């Protein structure tokens, strides 16, 4: 069963320095039908103006990852980490017992466009940790590349949850099939471009819940960058 979530139906938050679109309920946006899917709680599509960002703020017992599409994002946290996240980088924070962090656009000219994604953990009160890995276009072009997994296999980032996250780039005649393991749900989020997935046409910002499907089929991509979340079969996160 396929359930399409159009980009135009997402929640919106706008400040003078931030344009944010919420796939699921977040902050002042609440829709009882959109409170996550399986263990996926938040997908925020953020554009942050130059020299602006999120000041130091706390998180606890949440798996949070940032996926930069354009520009650069500067990260600092109470664990002593400081880094710049560029397109192709995936940053993962396990907040556990609690962390403080900030995220800023260090550019004086360009906006930064990123996805910030929250996954509810299966274990609480873990020691906080930070990870950052770069995945090249070659690793993702015309296929899905595993970027996050429970055990960090194939050089992916580790997450405290039974979830696998893949990223892919698709153009022109490229096609790709992925077998969905038995008794797993999938969420597909198209970060940019356009792409056909299982005969559904997706545009940038569109998403799709998939229940009781056997495979994914990707084709007709035009500048497409896609994230795929393969998860336990339940409707909503528990936290």
Query: At residue 22, does pLDDT exceed 80?
Result: yes
Report pLDDT digits (tens) over 166-198. Answer: 999 999 999 999 999 999 999 999 999 999 999
Query: What tokens appear for 2 in the block?
Result: 């396929």
Judged by DSSP in three states, 138 sits in: helix
Q: How many CB atoms lie within 10 A of CB 12?
A: 12
Average pLDDT rounded to a whole number, residues 89-115 = 96
Calculate the CA 210 to chain-centre distance: 16
**What is the pLDDT at residue 239?**
72
Query: At residue 232, does pLDDT exceed 90?
Result: yes
Q: Which residues contact 189 (CB under 8 A, 6 or more apart)?
A: 23, 43, 115, 206, 207, 226, 227, 228, 229
Average pLDDT across the chain, whole number = 97
**What is the pLDDT at residue 146?**
98
Q: Which residues contact 27 (CB under 8 A, 6 or more apart)?
A: 13
Q: How many CB atoms lie within 10 A of CB 19?
A: 16
Under the banding of pLDDT at 50, 70 and 90, the label for residue 221 is very high
Under the banding of pLDDT at 50, 70 and 90, the label for residue 87 is very high
What are the backbone dihedrals phi and psi of residue 150, each rounded to the nearest 5 degrees, phi first?
A: -60, -35
**What is the pLDDT at residue 238?**
86
CATH number of 2-231: 2.60.120.10
28 torsion bin: left (phi>0), alpha (psi -120 to 50), beta (else): alpha
Query: What percentage of residues in the chain have a pLDDT greater than 70?
Result: 100
Calculate the CA 200 to chain-centre distance: 20
Cα distance between residue 4 and residue 159, in whole Å: 26
**What is the pLDDT at residue 156?**
98
Report pLDDT digits (tens) over 108-163. Answer: 999 999 999 999 999 999 999 999 999 999 999 999 999 999 999 999 999 999 99
**What is the pLDDT at residue 158?**
98
pTM, rounded to two decimals: 0.97
């Amino acid at each position: 069963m396929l359930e399409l979530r159009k980009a135009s139906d997402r929640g919106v938050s706008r400040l003078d320095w931030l344009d944010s679109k919420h796939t699921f309920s977040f902050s002042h946006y609440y829709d009882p039908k959109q409170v996550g899917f399986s263990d996926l709680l938040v997908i925020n599509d953020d554009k942050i103006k130059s020299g602006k960002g999120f000041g130091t703020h706390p998180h606890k017992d949440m798996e949070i990852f940032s996926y930069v599409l354009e520009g650069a994002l500067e990260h600092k946290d109470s664990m002593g980490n400081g880094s710049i996240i560029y397109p192709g980088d995936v940053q993962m924070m396990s907040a556990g017992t609690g962390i403080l962090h900030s995220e800023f656009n260090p550019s004086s000219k360009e906006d930064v466009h990123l996805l910030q994604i929250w996954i509810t953990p299966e274990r609480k009160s873990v020691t906080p940790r930070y990870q950052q890995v770069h995945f090249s276009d070659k690793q993702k072009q015309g296929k899905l590349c595993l970027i996050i997994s429970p055990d960090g296999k194939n050089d992916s980032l580790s997450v405290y949850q039974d979830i696998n996250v893949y990223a892919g780039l698709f153009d022109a005649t490229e096609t790709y099939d992925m077998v969905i393991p038995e008794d797993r749900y999938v969420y597909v989020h198209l970060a940019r471009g356009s792409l056909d997935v299982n005969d559904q046409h997706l545009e940038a910002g569109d998403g799709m819940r998939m229940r009781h499907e056997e495979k994914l089929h990707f084709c007709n991509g035009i500048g497409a960058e896609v994230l795929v979340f393969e998860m336990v079969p339940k409707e909503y996160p528990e936290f």
